[in-house]
Amino acid sequence: MGGGKAPRPASPIVLALRRFPDPRLTGLGSGLFCTATMFALGCLDALLFDGSVTVYGVLFLLVSTLTAMWVRRADLVSAPVAVPIGFAVGILPMADGSGAFGGQVMGLVTALAMHAGWLYGGTLVAGLVVTVRGIRHMARRAARRRALAQARAGSPRTAGQQVTSAPRPRRRTA
């Protein structure tokens, strides 16, 4: 009778992805996650693969994606900011610098300049994931508002009744 479609069964890939953990990190938490993970992976890469930039870059893309997926909705803009910081900290063990502090800094700057492609790629991935998440969130909010407006328009109510879905947040002034 109803014109609605039956829900499609989820694909095996979607079911497998739903079994993964789904933490929600704050902006600071996502920065710490990315930085600590990249430093640990940089140390492992320096020990196991003699500082292979390709291995480090691929792992950076993965960590960038996870950072962008695990950050809270309220802190979405922090993921593309935290990811380059994590890259810079993680490349420290692989940077070829001489013993003094200035030499180490020059090694880091050289490594960042030489491997900027991986840095830009990971930042782009994080930015794309965050943008898609933001658009999906805005679309869900708009659908909720439309459904609420339809519920208000379709149901007769008395003067004292009001249909609400949730308390409205206060507007910030200043």
Distance CA 72, CA 23 (A): 9
pLDDT at 33 over 90: yes
pLDDT band, very low/low/confident/very high, at 131 (cuts 50, 70, 90):
very high
Q: Which alpha helices (H) appear in 115-172, and where do they start and end?
A: 116-154
Q: What is the mean pLDDT of the segment spanning 25-40?
A: 94
CA 120 to chain centre: 15
Count CB-CB contacts under 10 A for residue 77: 13
CA distance 64 to 114: 19
Paired with 25 in beta bridges are 71
- Nearest-10 crossing angle of helices 101-114, 79-90: 120
Q: Is the pLDDT of residue 158 over 60?
A: no
Residue 135: band (very low, low, confident or very high) from pLDDT cuts 50, 70, 90: very high
In whole angstroms, what is the distance from residue 161 CA to residue 123 CA?
Answer: 49
User: In whole angstroms, what is the distance from residue 170 CA to residue 76 CA?
Assistant: 21
Residue 102 binned pLDDT confidence (cut-offs 50, 70, 90): confident
Q: What is the pLDDT of residue 99?
A: 76
- Of 114, 105, 111, 90, give the one whose Cα is nearest residue 42: 90
CA distance 144 to 168: 13
pLDDT at 161 over 80: no
